[in-house]
Each structure stands twice: as C-alpha cells, then as structure tokens.
Structure 1
Amino acid sequence: MMSLKRIYAAVFLIFLAAVIGSVALTSWYTVDQSEQAVIMTFGKVEEGISEPGLHFKMPWPIQEVEKMSKETFSLQFGYEEKDGKVVEFTNDTKMITGDENIVLADMVVMWKISDPGKYLFESEDPQAVLYNATSASLRSIIGSTEIDEALTSGKGQIELEVFELLTSLMEVYDIGISVTSVNLQEVELPNEEVRKAFTDVTDAREMEDTKNNEAERYQNQRMNEAEGEKAAIISKAEGEKTARIERARGDVAKFNSIYTEYANAPELTKKRLILETMEEVLPYAEIYIMNDDGNTMKYFPLRTENPAPKPPANTEGSGNNE
C-alpha cells in the first residue's frame, strides 16, 4: 500500500507536468499570412505582431494573444444583403441636397484594421462608429451638392469628397480603422412621381441646350460669313486705294512733266493744253486754228484706233413728248 508521501509526490509531479505543459502550449503561437496579432499583458496591450510565423510570449495568464484578419472588409451603408436578398434602410439613405431636394443615397465603404490594439479597446463597437461616420460624411457632401450633379455627372466628385472627409474623421476618432475606398452605389429620387417630374425637367433642359447649341452654331456661321464679307470689302477697298494712289502718282508725274515743258516753252505748252482740253470737252467737234495773219488751218488731233461712237444728231420732232 502506497504511503501518503508517495501520493503527494505523484500529485506534485502531475501538477508540475501540467504546469510545464500549459506553459509550453500557451507560450508559443503562430500568425498566419492573412492575420495580425496583438499581445496583452494582464489585459493591457503591449505590442502588435504583423509578421507571419511562430512567435513566443509569456504563458497564460500573464500574456494573451488576440488575432485579427488583415483582409479588407466591406461596410454597406443604407442596405444589407441577406440570403441573396437586399434589405434597404430608407431612413438612413434619405438625404437633402444643396438645393433642398430629397434623394436616396447608399454607399459601400472598404476598410481595414490598421491598429489591432486600438480596434479592440478604443471603441466598444468600431464598425458602428465607421457606419455613423459614413452617414455623416455622405450627408455633408450631398447637402452641399445640387440635385442635378448628384443624380448625373457629380457622382465621382461626391465619392472623392466623401472619401476625404471620412478618412479625416477616422483619423480623429483613432479607433484602429483605415478607409481604403468608397463607392457610391445609387443616388435616386424617393418615388416614381418625383422621378417622372425630374425626368421631364431634365428632358426640357436637354432640349434647351440643344436649341442653344444650334443657335450658337448658326451665330458662328453667320459671323464667319460676315468676316468673309468684311475681308472682301476691305480687300476691294485696299485695291481701290492702291489704284487711286497710282492714278494720283501718274497725275503728279504728268503735271510735273507739263510744268517742265511749260517752264521751257510757256506759250507753246499753254496752247497745247488748250487744244487737249477742247479735245476732251468737245471730242466730236472740228477745231480750226487761226494764226495772226487771219489764215485758218484745221486741227487734226491724234485719235485712238477705236474712237467712241459719235452720238446721233437730233432731228426735228425727236425727243420725248411729255
């Protein structure tokens, strides 16, 4: 029969083996490629482990390890997918635009755990904080955007501004969450009647834009034509200007030539000018020249090869009777 001392010794050895086994089992842990871990000493966060592999820590209950995923999570704002069905939260998505119209807007936010310690202990429900921050950011940006932009071409700008505002909010809250992207799913009007009215207004605005574009094209066409006519008139005027200048120069040269002749032979030049003037004024008259002796002689001017036709002589009874 075993003595009491041996029983105590056996119990002690069993306890010692259990302690050693517990220390061995709780001192080593592994971190997977898709995981990150945080070490807590008596419940206080000591350090974060992001490198995969085998790691050592103090045995439980001195130190504990909490593992979390490195993956990117998706937060659905305004709706939730369950069993292949979409459940909408209309009260969350109903918002007022900058021009005081009501729209429904939902969004998907992609996020990661950037600091496991803060994610565990800085907030009781970090995902709820992210959801509320998303709501505040989206409402703020929609509230400063007009309905036309929100429903049509302004979605990209809304996403950018929501991302910037939401990122800054999460930095202020400092709960170990980083936002990687936001995706504005839908911005729509609350009911069919409002949607139809908005569509009618949009169609009318598009028609107005079309008419304005056509009017602008017609205006540009007329302006181009007017510019062409203007250029033609200017070109013609420049031609006439040049011709007149050349004629004036010719007249000046002729005058200078006559003046030179006049200076050399005043009387002869004077007579020639008189004869030329009479020839221009009376092109069809017969001119006779009388000298100092009373004798006359007929003046035969030099004519062009094709002189202008002589006008018909007036006969008795001709003319218009009124």
Structure 2
Amino acid sequence: MRAVYILPALFVAGVVALSSVYIVDERKQALVLQFGQVKQVVEEPGLGFKLPFIQEVVSYEDRILGLPTQPIEVTPADDRRLVVDAFARWRITDLVKFRQAVGAGGEEVARQRLDRIINAAIREIMGGVPSTAVLSEDRTALMNRIRDIARRESGSLGVEVIDVRLTRTDLPEQNLEATFARMRAERQREAADEIARGNEAAQRVRAAADREQVEVTSEARKNAEIVRGEADAQRNAIYAEAFGRDPEFFAFTRSLTSYERAMQSGNSSIVLSPNSEFFDYMNGVTAPVAPEVPAAGQ
C-alpha cells in the first residue's frame, strides 16, 4: 500500500523540483517575476532557483542587436526630397526599466519604439542640412548627431543605442526620372559644346592647310616659271649659237623639224601653195631659213 502513495509523491516532488530550477544561457540575461513584479535580476549565466508555480523567469538578449529602420521620406533644408533608411545597433542595459517600458511585448515592442525614435531623429537632423551634405560620402557627423538624439530619447526604455548608420539616401522614384533627364540634357549639352569646339578646330586646321597648299602651289608655279624661262633662254642661246656657226645647216634642220610637225597625223590641216617657200628644200631650192611651223594641234 505504501508503494501506491510513494510513487505519486515522488512524481510530484520531481515536478516541483524541476519547476524550481532554471538555466540562464550565456547569451541571455533574465528577470525572475512574481505575479508580474520583478523579484530578481539575473545577469550571469548558469543554474538558478525560484519558487515553483509562483515565480516565472523571462529571458532577454544580452548581445548587441541590429535594427534596420523603415524607409522614410525627408525634406532637407534645400527642399529636395530624399528617401532615407538606417541601420542601428542597440542593447538592453537596464532589465528592470526595460520590462517596465515594454511590458510583456519584450524586444519586438522595443524595436518598434526604437524605429520611431530613430526616424524622428533622422527627420530632425536632416531637416536642417542641405541635401548635398546628406548625399556626400562623409556623413559621419550627421550619423553621430542622429545617434546622440536616439540614445537620449531611448534612455527611458532601458536600452543603449550604440551606433546609427545611414544605409540609403536616394531620391524618390518620381524625382529620379527628372534628375536623370536633367543629367542627360547636361551631358548632351556638353557633348554638343565639344562637337562645336571640335568642328571649329577642324575648320581652323583645314583653313591653315588650304592656305599652306595655295602658298606651296604658288611657290612651286613661280619656281617652275623661273626654271622654264631659264630653259627657254638657254635653248634660244643654243639656237642662236648654232645659227651663227652654220646658218644654212641650221635652216635645213629647222625645215626638217617643221616638215615633221606639219605632217603628223591629226585633225589639223594646212593649205599651202606648192610654190611656197615652205617646200623649197623639197623642190631642191636652197632657202636661207625655213619658217618654223607649229606642231599639229597647237
């Protein structure tokens, strides 16, 4: 009969013993609550004891947590709208204050409230600076000011905002097309200016080349005329010297040359009398000088 009572008693004792023991993970910290009131803060990992069925243990993260904020639209000082979002790192520093602030909602409620706090800080800081400061690569000062405001406002939650980083600073979609169109127009204007300057330079080069061509051609023609004149003078001097040495032979050779030129095939025709002096050498009559007949076609 005793065994019948001992087994249930042992079972109940085991359940009570298990209900009075809890383990805190090294990545966690915990609160021991009794009827919703904080009775103990457990910040060290390990094994702990509580009153069974009366007290409960609630665990919270002891690590640094991340919070990507929702994108918001802000208007900087120059009235140029921007879409901004950020990434914050935070951790729970005061478990009692944290429990009182967020209640049973825990970390999820804390994330929602931190998101609103950080977005409000972003609007406050970026509303007082031009968009060029927001879009520049060096935004450390802006992010530090946002972090300081968020840290101050989130102190009542029992958390510490460690860092805030701006991850996106873009123009709204409706403004992007207008901006891209303006950029394209600017690039097209610059391209047209470059083309115009190139055409102007090309015209200058062509004009200089044409002027140089005319100068070179004129110089070449002048030199050619000089050479031709000197050659003609030398030829005439040779002819004169030859005529002076043997006038009759000179007249004979000149007549043969005239015959050759006059009798070449071509479309030109010469009508002369048979008794003309031009045919004296053919008729066996010696002439002092045969007149020179121009070549056919000349």
TM-score under structure 2 length normalisation: 0.54
* Partner residue, 2:158: 176
3-state SS of paired residue (2:117): helix
Cα displacement (A) at 1:22:
1.9
Whole-angstrom distance in 2 between the partners of 1:149 and 1:39: 48
SS in 1 for 2:112: helix
Counterpart position of 1:100: 79
Q: Which amino acid aligns with 1:27?
A: S
Task: For 1:178 and 1:147, locate their aligned partners in 2 and report how far apart those are by CA, in whole Å.
Answer: 29
Query: Could you say which residue in structure 1 is the equivalent of 2:15?
Result: 22
Of 25, 28, 34, the match for 1:32? 25
Please state how far the C-alpha of 1:23 moved relative to its aligned partner.
2.2
Deviation at 1:27, TM superposition (A): 1.7
Aligned partner of 1:111 in structure 2 is 90
1:62/1:198 CA distance change after superposition, 3 Å: farther
Q: CA RMSD in A?
A: 2.6
Distance 1:136-1:176 versus aligned 2 partners, 3 A rule = same
**Distance in 1, Cα, partners of 2:72 & 2:97:** 29
Residue 156 to residue 67, structure 1, CA distance change in 2 (3 Å): same
Hey, what's the Cα distance between the residues in 1 that align with 2:90 and 2:158?
10
1:41 aligns with 2:34: yes
State how far apart, in whole Å, the 1-side matches of 2:186 and 2:41 are. 55
Are the structure 2 counterparts of residues 55 and 18 from structure 1 closer, same or farther at C-alpha, using a change threshold of 3 Å? same
Name the aligned partner's letter for residue 177 of structure 2: E
Q: How far apart are the structure 1 equivalents of 2:133 and 2:24?
A: 47
Cα distance in 1 for residues equivalent to 2:134 and 2:30? 42
Q: Give the aligned residue type for 2:41.
A: G
Q: 1:131 aligns with which of 115, 118, 127?
A: 115
Deviation at 1:11, TM superposition (A): 6.0
Distance 1:201 1:49, change over 3 A: farther
Q: Does 1:142 align with 2:130?
A: no
1:168 alignment partner AA: R
TM-superposed CA distance for 1:187, in Å, is 1.2
Trace 1:189-228 onto structure 2 (pairs within 5 A): 189-191=171-173, 192-196=176-180
Larger Rg: 2
1:164 maps to 2:148: yes
Equivalent residue number for residue 70 of structure 1: 62
Hey, what does 1:207 align to over in structure 2?
Answer: none
Rounded Cα–Cα distance in structure 2 between residues aligned with 1:46 and 1:120: 12
Q: Write the deviation string for residues 241-273 of structure 1: whole angstroms up to 9, x where unpaired.
A: xxxxxxxxxxxxxxxxxxxxxxxxxxxxxxxxx
Mapped pair 1:122 → 2:101: yes
Paired residue type of 1:100: D
Size of the aligned set, in residue pairs, is 180
**TM-aligned CA deviation for residue 195 of structure 1:** 3.3
CA deviation vs aligned residue, 1:107-163 (integer Å, no higher than 9, x gap): 001111223344344224221111111111111111111111111155211101100
Structure 2 unaligned spans of 5+: 188-298
Write the distance in 1 (CA, Å) between the matches of 2:5 and 2:58. 32
Distance in structure 1 (CA, Å) of the matches to 2:182 and 2:96: 49
Q: 1:11 to 1:43 in 2, by over 3 A?
A: farther
Pair 134,36 (structure 1): closer, same or farther in 2 beyond 3 Å: same
DSSP 3-state at the match of 2:157:
coil
SS of residue matched to 1:97: coil
- AA paired with 1:176? G
Gaps in structure 1 of 5+ consecutive residues? 1-5, 79-91, 204-322
Q: 2:46 aligns with which of 53, 64, 88?
A: 53
SS of the residue 1:122 aligns to: helix
Mapped to 1, the partners of 2:182 and 2:99 lie a distance apart of 47
Tell me the TM-score normalised to structure 1 length: 0.50
Distance 1:72 1:181, change over 3 A: same
